[in-house]
Structure 1
Amino acid sequence: MHHLSDEMKACVDNCLACYRECLLMAMGHCLEMGGKHTEPQHFKLMMACAEICRTSAHFMLIGSEHHKHVCGQCAEICAQCAEDCERVGDMESCVGACRRCAESCTKMAA
């Protein structure tokens, strides 16, 4: 059995929290708000962000040495998603979750 460092456990938690936040925010808030909240580019970015977060957590949990590559991509997508959610507005919880995930995935990718 492989052991997760505290830093990796925190990253897994941040990834799963971001996955949950992006999905809930997109499927609830964004669909209800419409307008710029459902612009294809924004909505696809949120879906991509949710999925890469879930994938990053999965790679760390299974102990794959490839987690560094996935976390690097995750950090990039989360940073982009945070920026876009900020642009759209009224999405602070999503912005925060994305930023926390980007920060911990950047550490994991190093």
Structure 2
Amino acid sequence: MNAVANEMEQCIDSCIACYRQCVQTAMHHCLETGGEHVTPHHFRLMMGCSEMCRTAAHTMLVGVENHGVVCGACSVLCADCAASCEGMDGMDDCARACRECAEICGRMAA
């Protein structure tokens, strides 16, 4: 596998992992914890981030040529979501998944 294909596979894996982490964290941890975890801004950001990650993975999996545009948007949403999650109780894994996805999606967009 060449370097570009390998990086794309890593990006797909990171997007799917972030999608899963955001959805599971939002639906279980955030909804059950309440308070700052379910403020409209934070919760909507988590839902938007997860869906953008799923969409970015899909565009790469099906071979959309300009997937970099979607990856660029995914990188921005993931970075915003990570910033929103950081410092909240029980959100470290979600913030980490978002940061990793933001980084690799940013490279795919470049």
| TM-score range for the pair, normalised by the shorter chain length | over 0.9
Determine the C-alpha separation between the residues in 1 that align with 2:43 and 2:96. 17
- 2:68, 2:109 within 8 Å by CA — same for their partners in 1? yes
- Computed over aligned residues only, the root mean square deviation of the Cα atoms, in angstroms, reads 1.0
Partner of 1:90: 90
Is 1:63 the counterpart of 2:63? The answer is: yes
TM-score by length of 2: 0.94
Please give the alpha-carbon distance, in whole angstroms, between the structure 2 residues aligned to 1:87 and 1:53.
22
| Distance across 1 between alignment mates of 2:42 and 2:87 | 10
Gaps of 5+ in 2: none
- 1:38 and 2:7 matched: no
- CA distance in 2 between counterparts of 1:58 and 1:73 reads 14
Partners in 2 of 1:66 and 1:25 — Cα distance?
30
Alignment length (residue pairs): 107
Question: Matches of 1:89 and 1:60 in 2, distance apart?
Answer: 33
Looking at structure 1, the residues matched to 89 and 106 of structure 2 have their Cα atoms a distance apart, in angstroms, of 25
Which amino acid in the other structure matches residue 62 of structure 1? Answer: V
Ranges of 4+ aligned residues in structure 1 off by more than 6 Å:
none
Structure 1 regions of 5+ residues with no counterpart?
A: none
TM-score under structure 1 length normalisation: 0.94
Question: 1:99 aligned to 2:94?
Answer: no
State the percentage of identical aligned residues.
55
Quote the offset at 1:44 in angstroms.
0.2
SS in 1 for 2:86: helix
Please report how far the alpha carbon of residue 65 of structure 1 lies from its aligned counterpart in structure 2 after TM superposition: 1.3
SS in 2 for 1:41: helix
Q: Is the 8 A contact 2:12 2:57 kept in 1?
A: yes
- Specify the code of the residue in structure 2 equivalent to 1:95: A
**By how many angstroms is 1:29 displaced?**
0.1
CA distance in 2, matches of 1:75, 1:109: 8
